[in-house]
Amino acid sequence: MDNQANLETAQARIAEAPDPAALAALERELLGKDGLLGQQLSAIPSLPPAERGPAGRAANELKTALTAGLQARATELAQADLARDRAGVGFDATLPPPQVERGSLHPITHVTRKLVEVFTSMGYHILDGPEVELDWYNFEALNISADHPARDSQDTFYCDEKGSLVLRTHTSPVQVRAMERLTPPFRLVCPGKVFRQESTDATHEHTFHQMEGLVVGKDISVGHLVGTMKTLLRGIFGRDIDVRLRPGHFPFVEPGFELDARCVFCSDGCRVCKGTRWIELLPCGLVHPKVLQAAGIDPDEWSGFAFGLGLSRLVMLSHGIDDVRHLLGGDLRFLEQFSC
């Protein structure tokens, strides 16, 4: 068969291609390596030299003609498709729409946002700090010296040989960074991730979330601390909840406390409060004068309170979650239960 006959057969097949998929298959067949054009091209090197030029030109003309034919048929098919759509062919208004899967906030994000809302309404700034922290901010400036036993309770991930860079074990270093930068009076909270080198089990996780709170001003007292905590609880639970203070020891606060809240789940003892009717809410205290001083604030002029709210703990308490590892486990079956 000569070139012209080949071209005519090919153009006839193109004109009959019923849909874009068939047209694409035809394009591969005609223009591909083993197709009509490919065969012509691969035959050229074995032709006598005088015939190679004309053969090359003929192959090029064939390619141009086939490409134009394919293009024209593609346009025709697209127009026919559009005309069918416009005429409403194949459209069924009674079909159910495709399911849209709605995502939801992680419970930690949800509680963080709620708390941020409560604290902003009380005039607090929201601050952020580095997760890879200098030993100075994580420990030293918080009155936790290298040989202080408090370091034992915060098993640390060290990031360098010298031990001067750590993954922060709490959000308290942000206190120091904030005091260095801000001029009193100020109030702030800092939500964020913290890390401890723990063997993980139902109550221990290497990564969890805290929210640090810090207020520095004139004559700040334990009364301000208690009042703020009650406002916080009212913001979260929508009603007044009693609190009590027990002594607690943290080197960067003096005096230091553990603040308990009345159990919100029962009136006469339950599994969550272990029958005591009190729930351990957070550690807190008045900022130690040495910590103020280390950050360049005069402790004779200013005082403050600080607290460290365990966000992971709060989420577990309020949803009755019994294993902390669920929180960052990434299991969708767990996460899909929260539609907040």
**Footprint of ligand PHE on this chain (CB under 6 A)?**
170, 172, 250, 253, 256, 283-285, 306-308
The CA–CA distances, whole Å, from 312 to 191, 226, 263, 304 equal 11, 22, 18, 25
Residue with smaller CB distance to ligand PHE, 153 or 183: 153
Picking from 1, 75, 19, 56, the residue whose alpha carbon sits closest to that of residue 10 is 1
In the bound state, the residue with its beta carbon closest to ligand PHE is 308
Residue with smaller CB distance to ligand PHE, 11 or 169: 169
Least CB distance to ligand PHE at residue 253 (A) = 5
Q: Any idea what DSSP says for residue 112? A: H
Cα separation, 336 vs 162, in Å, equals 43
Cα separation, 164 vs 50, in Å, equals 80
Least CB distance to ligand PHE at residue 285 (A) = 5
Cα separation, 142 vs 249, in Å, equals 13
Grouping H, G, I as helix, E, B as strand and the rest as coil, residue 1 is: coil
Cα separation, 314 vs 309, in Å, equals 8
Length of the chain measured in residues: 340
Secondary element (H or E) of residue 185: none
Residue with smaller CB distance to ligand PHE, 229 or 284: 284
Residue with smaller CB distance to ligand PHE, 79 or 200: 200
Least CB distance to ligand PHE at residue 101 (A) = 37
Least CB distance to ligand PHE at residue 97 (A) = 49
Extract the tokens encoding 255.
């005096």
Least CB distance to ligand PHE at residue 247 (A) = 12
Cα separation, 89 vs 72, in Å, equals 23
Residue with smaller CB distance to ligand PHE, 62 or 309: 309
Least CB distance to ligand PHE at residue 321 (A) = 20
Residue with smaller CB distance to ligand PHE, 246 or 271: 246
Least CB distance to ligand PHE at residue 305 (A) = 8
Residue with smaller CB distance to ligand PHE, 36 or 208: 208
Cα separation, 121 vs 226, in Å, equals 17
Strand partners, 216: 186, 304
